[in-house]
Amino acid sequence: MVAGFHAPLHNAFAVWAQILAQNTGQTARSGLTGCVRLSNAQLDCVPSGPNVITARKHPLLNWLIYFFLVKAQLRSSFHRIYLRQAAPPPGPGSPPLIMFGNHSAWWDAHLAMALNEECWHTDGYVMVEDIQLARYGFFRWCGAFSVNRRDPRSAVESMNYAISLLTEAPRRSAGPRALLIFPQGEIRANDVRPLVFYQGAGRIASKTAQRAGACVLYPIALRYEFIGEQKPDAFISVGQPIVVRRENGAGAMDPRQITARMEQALTEELDRLHDDVVAYRLNSFTPLIQGARSINRVWDAVRGKEQIREVGIDQGE
């Protein structure tokens, strides 16, 4: 996975709405109503061609970028990164998977990369705006590939490239193939409802399941809060995965239905996360990354004083 890009991660789904409109002569809209269709045949006729800046995954360089750039920023900027998971992490034999999360902050991709590097260890990839990737090309070593939001044909090529990455065999000694997406297409406040996803999310999942037999979709709820410490805490809550299987028939493969299930799953996980964090019910979380200590805790340690209790952790709530 890759981090370090702001809003561009991933306005690819806004591009998808443009593509739908230009290929059908209609106004493409997000959500479950007013959607237009782009057939699989139309999608397949555009190959993943030379307009895509492809990923150049390199395990060692990926780790160095994560450790010295991404993880270092997280440790200096947050008090702690918390994680909870409703299901076991994907294993080596897992079908290709899509991590889809809410996009509420600059830090979202950092947290997704931390989840992958610290816990999941998948062979992860992410779509990034071409201008940003051309400027910060070293992120290709982490699995970043480009999308050109100004060229609909190029954007379709990027979608097809994403599907091809998911359906290829993983690199040797790597985990299952994974793609990170933020299907809202833009940064939105955490508690805005309803969540509305662009239909490209369901399209990628459907095409991947058709080719690979199955695709597993993980809702990743992210939240940031100040809870009794000098710096904020960040929370990653992974919900129950959605499994899309080719054997379940055409209805289960409908991109609109898949997108609707994704919207519902992430909404429920976000609401559950909100309720637990604001009530300081933190015992269901485990620390993923320990960050910076508050200055009062450093000063108390220097003076040999007893540390004050942490909100939601030491109080047995």
Q: Is residue 314 part of a domain?
A: no
Lowest mean pLDDT among 38-52, 138-152, 256-270, 279-293: 38-52
More confident residue, 29 or 316: 316
Give me the chain's average pLDDT, please. Answer: 84
Q: Is residue 41 part of a domain?
A: yes
Q: Is residue 128 part of a domain?
A: yes
More confident residue, 200 or 42: 200
Structure confidence at residue 107 (pLDDT) = 96
Specify the number of domains making up the chain: 1
pLDDT digits (tens, 9 = 90+) for 74-124: 999 999 999 999 999 999 889 999 999 999 999 999 999 999 999 999 999
User: What would the DSSP string read from start to end of 35-69?
Assistant: -----HHHHHTS---TTS------HHHHHHHIIII
Instruction: Give the integer Cα–Cα distance in Å for 250 and 30.
Output: 22
Q: Is residue 252 part of a domain?
A: yes
Q: Is residue 308 part of a domain?
A: no
Q: Is residue 310 part of a domain?
A: no
The domain spanning residue 202 has which CATH number? 3.40.1130
pLDDT band of 22, cuts 50, 70, 90: very low
Q: Is residue 187 part of a domain?
A: yes
Domain that holds residue 118: 7-302
- Interior/surface letters 93-122, b for 16+ CB within 10 angstroms, e for the rest: ebbbbbbbbbbbbebbbbbbbbbbbeebbb
* Plot region of 312 (φ>0 → left; ψ -120 to 50 → alpha; else → beta): left
Q: Please, what is the angle between helix 200-212 and helix 152-167, to 10°?
A: 40
Structure confidence at residue 47 (pLDDT) = 53
Share of the chain above pLDDT 90, in %: 61
The label of the residue with tokens 């991404």 reads 70
CB-count burial class (<10 Å; 0-12, 13-18, 19+) for 255: buried
Q: Is residue 315 part of a domain?
A: no
pLDDT digits (tens, 9 = 90+) for 171-202: 766 789 999 999 998 899 999 999 999 888 89
Structure confidence at residue 245 (pLDDT) = 95
- Grouping H, G, I as helix, E, B as strand and the rest as coil, residue 196 is coil
Contact criterion met (CB below 8 Å) for 58 and 223: no
pLDDT band of 314, cuts 50, 70, 90: low
